């Protein structure tokens, strides 16, 4: 049986904040913004932009976060910043915390009985640009990593109890990271069918784990830091492979975020403590979203595959 541990579900605090949400089952139309342009066309002529993805795209608890649908989508996530920098006239941001690749084509259950339509509905034949940040929730990859490693790390701070525990359970997160590549390839091909002329950009994940050292913000056992880094790197490599095979452009945020992990002096991802008005635990900070937006815009300006 496949695990379905969503990264968002690993932090119950977020669910508790939904007391003022809209009624369950209401459709989430996404974040649609239309502007009247009074300047020349933006670089690349982007007029219609669709942003798809999970919580690393949505930006839960970065101010200001929309809680109504259970997607925890921030108006300062990287799609919003990219749209602003490119002066895009029409934006459809349907990124949703907890999403995996199946939620691109199927309705996604969020929280408290709410659900949102398939994200690919936002992609149409006239869409010019599609960004996609997905895969970390497939097979419960990130959720299993952070929940298991944090739990066993508090019981045994030496050795590599998380890697050992998962191995004993027959769970191979590194192997699953590689398997996710095929799912993302299929997603990109579906995007291309729906929007044949769109530029498609696959966005990799920011790194959580330092290449050396440890910290309280990431309560893993000493030996599990290397394991966590290997899983994150494997997922990023899987997305890069999917981009090569489909001709999409790839934004390598694993490499770009070196020195900006949870334990660094300038982190782009929050640690184990959820901070309302800042970021959900183990999710991007505002600085991380700025960094992703910068690299998406640079990738678009360079041209190349996926044009």
Site of tokens 């398997």: 179
Site of tokens 């895009």: 88
d(CA 236, CA 104): 19
- Long-range pairs for 32-35 at CB < 8 Å and ≥24 separation? 32/90, 32/91, 32/92, 33/83, 33/90, 33/91, 34/89, 34/90, 35/87, 35/88, 35/89
Query: Which residues, in sequence order, are CB contacts of 193 under 8 Å at separation 6+?
Result: none
SS3 175: helix
- Specify whether the CB–CB gap between 99 and 132 falls below 8 A: no
- Specify whether the CB–CB gap between 200 and 261 falls below 8 A: no
Q: Which of 115, 160, 283, 307 is catalytic?
A: 283
Q: Is 260 a catalytic residue?
A: no
What is the crossing angle of helices 173-194 and 141-155, to 10°? 150
HSE-up (13 A, CA, CB side) for residue 107:
13
Q: Which of 22, 55, 74, 264 is catalytic?
A: 55
Q: What amino acid positions are annotated as catalytic residues? A: 55, 283
């Amino acid at each position: 049986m496949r695990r379905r541990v969503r990264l968002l579900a690993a932090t119950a605090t977020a669910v508790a904040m939904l007391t003022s949400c809209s009624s369950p089952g209401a459709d989430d139309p996404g974040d649609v913004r239309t502007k009247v342009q009074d300047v020349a066309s933006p670089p690349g002529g982007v007029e219609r932009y669709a942003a798809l993805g999970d919580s690393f795209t949505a930006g839960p608890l970065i101010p200001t976060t929309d809680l109504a649908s259970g997607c925890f989508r921030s108006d300062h996530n990287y799609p919003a910043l990219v749209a602003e920098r490119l002066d895009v006239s029409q934006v459809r941001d349907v990124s949703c915390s907890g999403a995996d690749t199946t939620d691109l084509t199927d309705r996604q259950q969020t929280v408290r009985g709410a659900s949102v339509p398939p994200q690919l509905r936002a992609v149409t034949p006239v869409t010019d640009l599609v960004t996609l940040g997905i895969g970390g929730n497939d097979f419960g990859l990130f959720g299993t990593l952070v929940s298991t490693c944090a739990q066993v790390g508090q019981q045994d701070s030496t050795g590599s109890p998380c890697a050992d525990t998962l191995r004993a359970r027959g769970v191979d997160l590194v192997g699953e990271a590689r398997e996710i590549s095929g799912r993302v390839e299929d997603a990109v091909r579906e995007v291309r069918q729906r929007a044949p002329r769109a530029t498609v950009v696959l966005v990799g994940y920011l790194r959580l784990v330092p290449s050396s050292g440890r910290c309280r913000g990431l309560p893993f056992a000493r030996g599990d830091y290397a394991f966590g880094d290997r899983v994150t790197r494997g997922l990023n490599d899987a997305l890069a492979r999917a981009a090569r095979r489909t001709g999409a452009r790839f934004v390598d945020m694993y490499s770009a975020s070196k020195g900006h992990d949870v334990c660094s002096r300038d982190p782009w991802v929050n640690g184990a403590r959820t901070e309302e008005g800042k970021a959900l635990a183990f999710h991007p900070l505002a600085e991380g979203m700025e960094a992703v937006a910068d690299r998406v815009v640079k990738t678009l300006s360079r041209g190349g595959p996926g044009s």
